[in-house]
Structure 1
Amino acid sequence: MAGFRDFLMRFRPVGLPGPAAAGGVPADRSAELAAELEPPLALLEETEAEARTIREDADQDAARRRQAAERTAKDIVEQARARAPAVREESASRIRDATEAEATECSRPPSAMPLPCNAGFSSACPHSRTAWWPLWSRN
């Protein structure tokens, strides 16, 4: 593609007044530009190749990290599934103990309890709010 300078050269006068000049070789501006830009572009090719290898290494490293994360996630899930029955049993045991404690506390006569039963809001307990709530709301 012709440059701006080449475009302007079209409008140069054909001959200058005065004696004839010695013959010369026309300047090849595009060859000069190519020769001028060749060394920096060669350096860019090396840099481009280096960037390509860095990206490939990063892709391989990312794949390794993804695989390691998948293995870790699988291990965590397996451990959680293995612990789940024990955790369920422990939770059921706590609920069972709390229910038994509430039942024993509510089975005592009201005069034996220093304070009303606040162990829970079970309607089985004569001291709970839920057992007495319908009575409070009557007019």
Structure 2
Amino acid sequence: MKRIVIVLLVLFCCLCLAGNALAGGKEAAKKNVAEVVAAINGGKDAKTVNANDYDPYVFILEENGMLVVHPSLAGKSLKEVAPPVYEAIAAAVKEGKETADYMWKDAMKHSYVQKTNNNLIVGSGYSE
């Protein structure tokens, strides 16, 4: 009986930690996007943003899909590299949603997205 209780407690703790990690990812992504959008709206050149200075990383793209900032895809078109991801992000922004949801490498991914005053799209995502 004692062994069962210990196993159940361990499982419960693991579930709690996993839930907190997902919530932390969502909140961190939201915070990162807000910080970058505020900086760009305040006059910072988007090209000077370092994607890897944030955890989770940030990305910045133009409305046409060109990635201005991304850890490995800067200078490439998201529209060409990952059309379903671009479509999900573009649709979310157009519909005024805060998150874009899409499949990426067999996992559901969520990106918190927001437009800047000069129509760049800033995002940061987390996986389930």
Larger relative contact order (CA 8 Å, sep ≥ 6): 2
So what's the TM-score if we normalise by structure 1? 0.29
The structure with the largest strand share of the pair is 2
So what's the TM-score if we normalise by structure 2? 0.31
The structure with the largest helix share of the pair is 1
